[in-house]
């Protein structure tokens, strides 16, 4: 009987998939220690969104988290992190000196292995980072990034077994040093048949003894089947999770997969009773955190619009924060077209976020009215070569709107010329703020931007969603805040129909005659927004084109601006969108402050 190894990804991908990566270190370290005592010796502990999230939302240092994890598990346990090739642990690709710094800092802070991938499967993007990982004395796990194509698309090569094996051959031919190979499906949309053929073909191509690891999510309900297909094809290790962060958008549970293998020629080498105890402990420790219902759902729509489990809840959390969660189904529907016209890059961060941002923009601003910066740069080649050529019309729109020409140049060369990237630039940012210029701080600044600087200054806000806070927010919504916010029924009609307003939102309510029982409630038709009185708001209003959070004001009252100048920056869905002045003139008033949440159409300032 073949013993199949597993990596417990609960403390990175599980957190990312179920809590938007917003979990405090103190709350999971005791569970990590218990898991080691139960016999698990292989953990994913950081990287991916769990690097930025600690600075953005938890107000904790990711390097400190790594140090504490290593102290808990001892010297012999494999602690693995996730890296995004030239992007390392951020959404923005970096210059070579920062990519090298990433490997050295993660080695310094107790990491054993780095899983290294590029969503576009441009081997140039993982060649340099992989060499840096190897040079730093870390184990390098190179990735083949999988994704199932939405049905009905006219594409017969990308994301087939042949495509994946061609990419593996390209990696082998490049001479890139690696210690193991992972087939990683972040969206859980690859079919078991494709998984089987790709892993089986890789087993024949790779040198004897090369470890193959398989990673998938259960978002589309295919996790168990795909794991078993990979095992039968020759995979040595699969990625699994523990409850409460298993199933749904996360990975298959350790105990579920152990049960699937009973009576077969394979087994997981675990003490299932001990794992039961650890999972019970884990559930207790995570009970304080709010888990959105979509985190545990198997979603049949995902194969049609591949949204990674690790990004889905992060995006829905942000949409909740920006009061735009009602747009989520339409955004997901719009992703299919965005994936196809964008060149079929694998839907995994950062490309999955580029897809989501563009689908979000298409939803709130109209199809292809605005090409978002990251998606536009991707189709123009500034993140590498996409698996297929992007739609020519989208390339044209991106070039016009961003003012950039298409390129085939190596991303590293482009970034090395950028004066706002690299160690020296970030050292200057730290010095300007009076902060120590340690290598750790330089890396935090480079990968986390202004939010990283805010953390280092002690100015960052806490953004964790605790269950108690969410319940309190829900209670407030059903209780009128004041007499003016109370439900105010209109005169009763003969049919028992009313229009009521609660917290500024109108609803149609039908009440059964003679009983007072509510039969139905539905949103009322939206009323035309009240436009600002031209006499009270002098000048031209600058309005928000999409819901989000104001993160920076680029001007002050009294400043002179030209039409098209950036006057403010709004963040939504990890996307920073500059708001441009619609006219030339003087800034007469600013109606918002940094940190304010705004809705589409809100007036941000007046220029006259």
Residue-wise pLDDT tens digits, 351-371: 988 998 899 889 988 999 999
The structure tokens listed for 336 are: 């299919």
Residue 50 has pLDDT above 90, yes or no: yes
Residue 29 has pLDDT above 80, yes or no: yes
- Sort strands 575-580 and 566-572 into parallel, antiparallel or unpaired: antiparallel
When pLDDT is averaged across residues 392-401 and rounded to a whole number, the result is 97
Higher-confidence residue of 299 and 232: namely 232
What is the pLDDT of the chain when averaged over all its residues? 88
290 band by pLDDT with thresholds 50, 70 and 90: very high
High-pLDDT (> 70) share of the chain, %: 89
Query: What is residue 514's predicted lDDT score, i.e. its pLDDT?
Result: 41
Residue 58 has pLDDT above 70, yes or no: yes
Is the CB of residue 538 less than 8 Å from the CB of residue 606? yes
Is the CB of residue 319 less than 8 Å from the CB of residue 277? no
Query: What is residue 479's predicted lDDT score, i.e. its pLDDT?
Result: 66
Residue 309 has pLDDT above 90, yes or no: no
**Burial of 388 per CB tally in 10 Å (0-12, 13-18, 19+):** middle
404 band by pLDDT with thresholds 50, 70 and 90: very high
Query: What is residue 153's predicted lDDT score, i.e. its pLDDT?
Result: 82
Tokens 């189709």 appear where?
379
Query: What is residue 502's predicted lDDT score, i.e. its pLDDT?
Result: 44
CA dihedral of 393, 395, 397, 401, whole degrees rounded to 10 = 180
Residue 402 has pLDDT above 70, yes or no: yes
Q: What is the pTM of this model?
A: 0.83
Query: What is residue 480's predicted lDDT score, i.e. its pLDDT?
Result: 59
254 band by pLDDT with thresholds 50, 70 and 90: very high
Query: What is residue 598's predicted lDDT score, i.e. its pLDDT?
Result: 84
Strand ranges inside 248-403, DSSP E? 266-268
Query: What is residue 552's predicted lDDT score, i.e. its pLDDT?
Result: 84
Separation CA 399–CA 341 (nearest Å): 15
Residue 537 has pLDDT above 80, yes or no: no
Residue 247 has pLDDT above 70, yes or no: yes
Separation CA 53–CA 387 (nearest Å): 29
147 band by pLDDT with thresholds 50, 70 and 90: very high
For the ranges 17-26, 294-303, 378-387, which has the lowest average pLDDT?
294-303
Query: What is residue 236's predicted lDDT score, i.e. its pLDDT?
Result: 97
When pLDDT is averaged across residues 512-534 and rounded to a whole number, the result is 43
């Amino acid at each position: 009987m073949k013993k199949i190894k597993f990596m417990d990804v609960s403390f990175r991908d599980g957190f990312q998939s179920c809590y938007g990566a917003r979990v405090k270190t103190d709350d999971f370290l005791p569970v990590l220690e218990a898991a080691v005592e139960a016999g698990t010796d292989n953990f994913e502990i950081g990287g991916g969104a769990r690097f930025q999230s600690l600075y953005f939302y938890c107000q904790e240092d990711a390097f400190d988290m790594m140090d504490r994890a290593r102290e808990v598990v001892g010297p012999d346990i494999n602690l693995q992190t996730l890296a995004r090739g030239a992007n390392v642990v951020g959404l923005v690709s970096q210059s070579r000196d920062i990519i090298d710094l990433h490997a050295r800092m993660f080695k310094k802070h107790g990491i054993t292995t780095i899983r290294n991938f590029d969503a576009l499967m441009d081997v140039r993007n993982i060649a340099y980072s992989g060499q840096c990982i190897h040079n730093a004395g870390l184990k390098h796990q190179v990735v083949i990034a999988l994704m199932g194509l939405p049905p009905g698309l006219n594409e017969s090569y990308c994301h087939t077994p042949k495509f994946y094996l061609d990419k593996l051959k390209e990696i082998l031919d490049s001479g890139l040093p690696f210690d193991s190979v992972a087939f990683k499906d972040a969206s859980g949309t690859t079919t078991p048949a494709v998984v089987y053929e790709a892993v089986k073909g890789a087993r024949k191509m790779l040198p004897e003894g090369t470890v193959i690891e398989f990673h998938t999510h259960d978002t589309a309900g295919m996790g168990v089947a795909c794991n078993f297909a990979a095992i039968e094809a020759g995979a040595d290790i699969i990625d699994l999770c523990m409850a409460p962060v298993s199933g749904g958008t996360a990975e298959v549970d350790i105990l579920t997969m152990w049960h699937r293998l009973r009576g077969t020629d394979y087994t997981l080498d675990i003490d299932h009773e001990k794992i039961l105890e650890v999972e019970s402990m884990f559930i207790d420790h995570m009970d304080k955190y709010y888990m959105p219902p979509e985190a545990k759902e198997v979603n049949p729509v995902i194969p049609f619009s591949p949204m990674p489990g690790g990004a889905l809840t992060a995006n829905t959390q942000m949409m909740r924060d920006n009061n735009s969660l009602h747009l989520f189904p339409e955004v997901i529907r719009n992703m299919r077209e965005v994936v196809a016209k964008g060149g079929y890059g694998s839907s995994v961060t950062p490309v999955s976020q580029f897809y989501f941002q563009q689908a979000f923009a298409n939803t709130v601003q109209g199809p292809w009215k605005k090409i978002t910066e990251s998606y536009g740069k991707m189709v123009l080649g500034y993140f590498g070569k996409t698996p297929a050529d992007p739609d020519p019309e989208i390339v044209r729109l991106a070039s016009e709107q961003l003012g950039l020409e298409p390129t085939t140049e190596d991303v590293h060369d482009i970034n090395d010329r950028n004066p706002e990237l690299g160690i020296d630039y970030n050292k200057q940012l730290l010095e300007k703020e009076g902060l120590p210029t340690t290598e750790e701080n330089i890396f935090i600044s480079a990968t986390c931007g202004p939010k990283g600087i805010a953390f280092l200054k002690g100015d960052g806000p806490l953004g964790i969603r605790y269950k108690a806070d969410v319940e309190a927010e829900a209670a407030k919504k059903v209780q009128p805040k004041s007499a003016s916010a109370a439900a105010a029924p209109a005169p009763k009609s003969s049919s028992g129909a009313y229009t009521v307003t609660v917290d500024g939102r109108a609803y149609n309510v039908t009440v059964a005659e003679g009983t007072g029982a509510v039969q139905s409630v539905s949103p009322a038709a939206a009323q035309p927004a009240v436009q600002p009185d031209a006499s009270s708001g002098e000048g031209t209003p600058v309005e928000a084109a999409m819901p989000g959070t104001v993160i920076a004001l680029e001007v002050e009252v009294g400043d002179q601006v030209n039409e098209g100048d950036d006057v403010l920056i709004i963040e939504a869905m990890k996307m920073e969108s500059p708001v441009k002045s619609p006219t030339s003139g003087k800034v007469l008033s600013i109606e918002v402050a940094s940190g304010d949440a705004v809705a589409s159409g809100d007036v941000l300032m007046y220029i006259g």
